[in-house]
Amino acid sequence: MRAIEQLEYDEFIGFVGAQTCEDREQLYSYIRPHLSQEAQAYLDENSEVICKGIIHCGKFERYFRIFRRLVMPLIHSRKTIKKLLSFSSLEEQEKFYNQTWNNRRWQGLFRIFFGKFLLGLLGRDPSFFRYVTVRNIAEEILNWTRHGLTEVPIHKNFYIEYILTGGYRNLNIAHPYLQASNFHILKERIGRIRLVCESLEEHLKTLKAGTVSKFNLSDIFEYMSDKEVELALQEILRVSRPNARLAFWTLFIPRSVPSVLAKQITPYSDTSEKLHFTARTFFYGSFCLWKVNGCESAS
């Protein structure tokens, strides 16, 4: 956010790591005075985050880097990866996946690397699995990945491109926040965002009733018990405006509307399934779009 505010577009994409850049530390010096003291202290002590580009330094990004550098060379060459990313039709993708990509090395090494042990050790916080009952996590992820590589257009899927290559060939079809056409809008509106560092439940308690119309909840319910989900939804209902929408993802823990709230929340099941099937974020188990009752159709 502060980089968007303080830098020009070419500086921004270089600084965050979307393109090569030789002066990230200099650019950081422009941004630093506008950061919180906590952020300054962290980045001052972890300068490698700046030098590598901040978009590459998340825990999951580091996990994919290990996969890309140590595992993928044992499975496919860079030429084969480039070929996969070049297809413009689903028919070509599926044929290539079945005939070339989906070999025994891919299946075997994928199952090892994305199994519960390594995923919990290197990719996710161990607490992520507290409520997971799925026995074969690697098999689930392998099925989702097959869907992403065969049933979702790959030539504009910047998630797959980043996972397999660690970068972007064409920023015009990269993540929307990296596209030049969106930068001036982000710079103009970034000040509207307010950062809150507390749990969802704590924050909802500070809000007045009937003040929120939309909730983008990521995969937050993956970390909660059934009872905690129900309590969170009750608080969401309290602060919701009429016809408020809830959107969230799940990985290994499917979520449905708790029976005690069935009269207050309507799930758009068909729309949710359609959006999940076509989403570039193929690595989730499901997508849910729900509505606080009072509106007959989703738009």
Using a cut of 0.85, tell me whether the model's pTM lies above it: yes
pLDDT at 16: 97
- Tell me which of 296 and 26 has the higher pLDDT: 26
Query: What pLDDT does 299 receive?
Result: 43
Give the pLDDT score at 194.
93
Residue 58 Cα distances to 64, 118, 188, 235, angstroms = 10, 16, 26, 31
Q: How confident is the model at residue 294 (pLDDT cuts 50, 70, 90)?
A: low
pLDDT, position 129 = 67
Residues sharing a CB contact under 8 Å with residue 254, sequence separation 6 or more, in sequence order = 285, 286
Cβ(267)–Cβ(248) under 8 Å?
no
- What pLDDT sits at residue 297? 41
The arrangement of strands across the sheet holding 265-267 comes to 212-216, 240-250, 286-292, 265-267
Question: pLDDT digit string (tens) for 37-71?
Answer: 999 999 999 999 999 999 999 888 988 999 999 99
Structure tokens at 143: 């099925």
pLDDT reading at 121 higher than 90 = no
User: What pLDDT is recorded for position 26?
Assistant: 96
Mean pLDDT (the chain, rounded): 92
The pLDDT of residue 118 is 73
CB 270 within 8 A of CB 218: no
pLDDT at 295 over 70: no
The predicted pLDDT at position 135 comes to 76
Q: Judge residue 20's burial from the number of C-beta atoms within 10 Å of its C-beta, 0-12 exposed, 13-18 middle, 19 or more buried.
A: exposed
**Radius of gyration of the CA atoms of the chain, in A:** 21
Q: What is the pLDDT of residues 189-217, one digit of tens each?
A: 999 999 999 999 999 999 999 999 999 99
**pLDDT at 91 exceeding the cut of 80:** yes
Amino acid (1-letter code) at residue 17: G
Q: Where are the beta strands (DSSP E) in the chain?
A: 212-216, 240-250, 265-267, 286-292
144-169: buried (b, 16+ CB within 10 Å) or exposed (e) per residue?
bbbebbbebebbebbebbbbbeebbe
Residue spans of the domains in the chain: they are 2-54+177-192, 59-155, 200-292
pLDDT at 163: 94
